[in-house]
Amino acid sequence: MSAANTTTPLAGKTVGISISHLTKQFNNVTVLHDVSFDVHPGEIFCLMGPSGSGKTVLLKHIVGLETPTSGSVRIGEYDAADPETRAKVHLAFVFQAGALFNSLSVYDNLALYPREHRLGSEVSIRERVMYALQILSLEKAAGKMPSELSGGMKKRVAIARALVMEPQLFLYDEPTAELDPVMGATISEIIGTLREHTAVTSLVVTHDRSLALSIADRVAIIMDGRIRAVGVPDDFKHTTDPAIANFLNPVVDIKNPRFKQLENANE
């Protein structure tokens, strides 16, 4: 279900990801156990899982911020753990909290990448930045500082900043976390629209079921550091795996002893 390459100004040659037998330990605690899956070029791949299941650690391996204890992560033909890979592959990471540079205005946040990599004159950088701001309806926020923005706007600026990089690979870490449902829907629409505009490969890490099942071409479920299942969204709608079913459609059991304890404590 990969999208065709387009020739919009921000389009780049897309790349896939190949994760093979990835294991990660921190102080003898294994966070990722023998994780393997592929993300095909041009697709939107959602990695879902409960909090603490290792999603963000996995994402950090893809961007090269962590190195595997064993196994490998490859982006296209390059090893993700090699710092040189970031020079060869345009990779954009939208952090959960945005990670905007607080000392720079929104415009300068977006212009930092092209300026530092000398991707044209100041005029062409301006065009590029304004184009990205326009896609995300942020033209009026260009002169603002990150501290003046709402949570949703910060997320959109982070996406715009990633877009300016003309990425071949878009990585989103919990793009709808801490947002209201309307803003969450807007962000998911933006992710879909960006793929249409740029044909870029997107890996979305989330525990937002509706986001994942609505935008993804394929979904993987990770639990306790292990990949539990990989498939198209429809595969998960009628899953027979009780753990996945419980994660996707959680049912609160009020007869659970933990709730009894809470009740007693309240009395």
Partner 1 sequence: MKQLTALCENFGSAICMLARSARHINTLPRQFPRFIEQCYLIGYTTLPIVTILSFFIGSVLALQSGYSMQNFGAKQFIGTLVGLSMCRELGPVMVAILVTGRAGSAITAELASMNVYQEIDALMTMNIPPERILVLPRLAAVLVMMPVLAIIANLCGWYGGAIVCQYTAFISVDTQSYFAALKRYMEFNDILDGLLKAEIFGFVIVTICCYIGLSVKGGPREIGASVTRAIVVSLIFILVLDYFVTKALL
Count residues binding partner 1 (CB under 8 A): 20
Q: Of the two residues 106 and 223, which places its CB atom closer to partner 1 in the complex?
A: 106
234: buried, middle or exposed (CB in 10 Å: 19+, 13-18, 0-12)? Answer: exposed
Q: Of the two residues 154 and 218, which places its CB atom closer to partner 1 in the complex?
A: 154
Q: Of the two residues 19 and 165, which places its CB atom closer to partner 1 in the complex?
A: 165
Q: Of the two residues 111 and 191, which places its CB atom closer to partner 1 in the complex?
A: 111
Q: If binding is defined by CB under 8 A, does position 204 make contact with partner 1?
A: no
Q: If binding is defined by CB under 8 A, does position 119 make contact with partner 1?
A: no
Q: What is the DSSP letter of 140?
A: G
According to CB under 8 A, which one of 80, 92, 160, 221 is a site residue for partner 1? 92
Q: If binding is defined by CB under 8 A, does position 10 make contact with partner 1?
A: no
Q: If binding is defined by CB under 8 A, does position 175 make contact with partner 1?
A: no
Q: If binding is defined by CB under 8 A, does position 112 make contact with partner 1?
A: yes
According to CB under 8 A, which one of 95, 107, 170, 172 is a site residue for partner 1? 95
The answer to whether residues 87 and 106 touch, using CB atoms and an 8 Å cutoff, is no
Q: Of the two residues 124 and 246, which places its CB atom closer to partner 1 in the complex?
A: 124
Q: If binding is defined by CB under 8 A, does position 99 make contact with partner 1?
A: yes
If we measure between CA atoms, which residue out of 95, 68, 71, 94 comes closest to residue 81?
Answer: 68
Q: What is the DSSP letter of 30?
A: E
According to CB under 8 A, which one of 3, 73, 80, 100 is a site residue for partner 1? 100
Supply the angle between the helices 151-164 and 122-135 in degrees, to the nearest 10. 130
| Least Cβ distance, residue 227 to partner 1 (angstroms) | 24
Rounded distance between C-alpha atoms, residue 42 and residue 74, angstroms: 16
Q: Give the per-residue SS3 of 89-112.
A: CCEEEECCCCCCCCCCCHHHHHHH
According to CB under 8 A, which one of 97, 143, 210, 263 is a site residue for partner 1? 97
Q: If binding is defined by CB under 8 A, does position 150 make contact with partner 1?
A: no
According to CB under 8 A, which one of 93, 172, 236, 247 is a site residue for partner 1? 93
| Least Cβ distance, residue 56 to partner 1 (angstroms) | 11
According to CB under 8 A, which one of 40, 86, 197, 228 is a site residue for partner 1? 86
Rounded distance between C-alpha atoms, residue 248 and residue 16, angstroms: 27
Nearest-5° Cα angle at 178, 41 to 238: 55
Rounded distance between C-alpha atoms, residue 92 and residue 144, angstroms: 22
Give strand pairing partners of 47: 205, 220
Count how many residues are written for the chain. 267
Q: Which residues bind partner 1 (CB under 8 A)?
A: 63-65, 86-87, 91-93, 95, 97, 99-103, 112-113, 116-117, 165
